């Protein structure tokens, strides 16, 4: 599949549910690497040797801080090199930890730089804010060693049990500047085959291409988006939950997270108000005392006219948005998936309420 960075960035920003970092920064940095080194090969997880060493790569921290920093050329390379030094062997392939925002692009940036393939899959099927919210944890993989680095090539290697890995990583991330690049959950090809959500890079690419084609032809980009999702998985639910104008949004940066809440005033067929909360990603939206969608299902804020995705850190008063709900990967809706990625994992009260068909 030819690599189209514009399409990948667009599709990944939508699947990022408001988080994952600014895809524009990642696109520019990745395009620079492609011009120097060429694009990496995209491989299916089934192609991996069982004993291959696979390195998940991600940018962590508050996306709002990431907006203030440019990606230095060795930024994503450093943790991979430190992992190789720590383990005493070479990495065989790179995989996105999540298929959201800049974190769908960083793996291509580092893979191009190192001459490695990128695996077509991730551990979320969306974006989440912590290393606990992954299929890797659901299936019992060890998170460590976690390698956390910043733009100055400062590096910290964390070796601990899974219960402490997120806490220590978050503390290190904050001290290293609030927006860092990490390698975590290093695994064998055998473990990648049993734990990855497959083909999510292809899904992001196809979503982006469908929206761009719809815009070029004057067709409805939202209809193109939902059609592409249904082609990927006919059982997937994708529907508009609310349409309105942003009337309030409050956010703060604390402990390496971009957190906040806001309200929408209904427009068109939607009346009343809807409220939403986020922690790097949109977590819940409710209206008239009823939950419309909640994690791990995807809540995507899109520009009403263009279907451009809107991130939590760029959402502003007066924007007119459509809120699209998308059902999450089936593994995230199992009891183990809800425990790792459901409402309680983010301090939200109440049960997981699956996204219902219209």
Residues 6+ apart with CB under 8 A from 94: 40, 54, 55, 56, 57, 80, 107, 110, 111, 114, 116, 117, 118, 119
- Ranges 43-52, 229-238, 306-315, 322-331: which has the least confidence: 306-315
CATH superfamily ID and name for 236-346: CV3147-like (2.40.390.10)
283-320, pLDDT tens digit by residue?
A: 999 999 999 999 999 999 999 888 899 988 889 999 99
126-163, pLDDT tens digit by residue?
A: 999 888 899 999 999 999 999 999 888 889 999 999 98
| Residue of 66 and 99 predicted with greater confidence | 99
pLDDT higher than threshold 90 for residue 71: no
Give the pLDDT of residue 68.
Answer: 60
Residues 6+ apart with CB under 8 A from 70: 25, 29, 151
Identical fold at 5-200 and 236-346? no
Quote the mean pLDDT of the chain. 91
Please give the average per-residue pLDDT across 232-237, as a whole number.
93
Residue ranges per domain, the chain? 5-200, 236-346
pLDDT higher than threshold 60 for residue 2: no
Give the pLDDT of residue 358.
Answer: 47
| Residue of 102 and 24 predicted with greater confidence | 102
**CB of 295 closer than 8 Å to CB of 350:** no
CATH superfamily ID and name for 5-200: CV3147-like domain (3.40.1610.10)
Please give the average per-residue pLDDT across 161-175, as a whole number.
88
């Amino acid at each position: 599949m030819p690599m189209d960075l514009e399409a990948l960035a667009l599709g990944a920003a939508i699947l990022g549910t408001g988080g994952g970092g600014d895809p524009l920064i990642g696109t520019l940095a990745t395009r620079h690497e492609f011009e120097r080194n060429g694009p990496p090969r995209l491989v299916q997880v089934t192609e991996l040797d069982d004993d291959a060493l696979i390195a998940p790569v991600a940018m962590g921290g508050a996306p709002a801080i990431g907006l203030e920093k440019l990606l230095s050329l060795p930024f994503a390379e450093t943790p991979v090199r430190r992992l190789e030094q720590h383990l005493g062997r070479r990495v065989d392939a790179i995989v996105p930890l999540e298929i959201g925002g800049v974190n769908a692009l960083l793996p291509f940036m580092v893979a191009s730089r190192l001459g490695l393939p990128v695996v077509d899959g991730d551990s979320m099927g969306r974006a989440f804010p912590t290393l606990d919210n992954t299929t890797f944890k659901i299936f019992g993989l060890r998170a460590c060693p976690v390698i956390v680095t910043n733009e100055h090539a400062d590096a910290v290697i964390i070796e601990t049990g899974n219960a402490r890995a997120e806490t220590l990583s978050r503390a290190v991330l904050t001290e290293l500047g609030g927006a860092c690049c990490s390698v975590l959950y290093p695994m064998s090809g055998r473990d990648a085959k049993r734990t990855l959500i497959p083909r999510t890079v292809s899904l992001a690419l196809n979503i982006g291409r469908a929206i761009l084609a719809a815009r070029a032809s004057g067709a409805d980009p939202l209809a193109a988006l939902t059609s592409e999702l249904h082609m990927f998985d006919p059982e997937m639910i994708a529907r508009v939950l609310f349409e309105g104008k942003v009337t309030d949004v409050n956010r703060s940066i604390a402990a390496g997270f971009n957190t906040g809440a806001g309200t929408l005033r209904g427009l068109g067929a939607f009346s009343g108000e809807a409220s939403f909360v986020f922690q790097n990603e949109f977590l819940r939206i409710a209206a008239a005392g009823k939950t419309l969608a909640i994690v791990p299902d995807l809540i995507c804020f899109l520009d009403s006219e263009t279907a451009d995705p809107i991130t939590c850190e760029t959402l502003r008063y007066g924007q007119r948005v459509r809120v699209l709900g998308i059902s999450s990967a089936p593994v995230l809706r199992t009891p183990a998936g809800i425990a790792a990625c459901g409402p309680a994992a983010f301090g939200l009260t109440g049960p997981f309420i699956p996204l219902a068909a219209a």
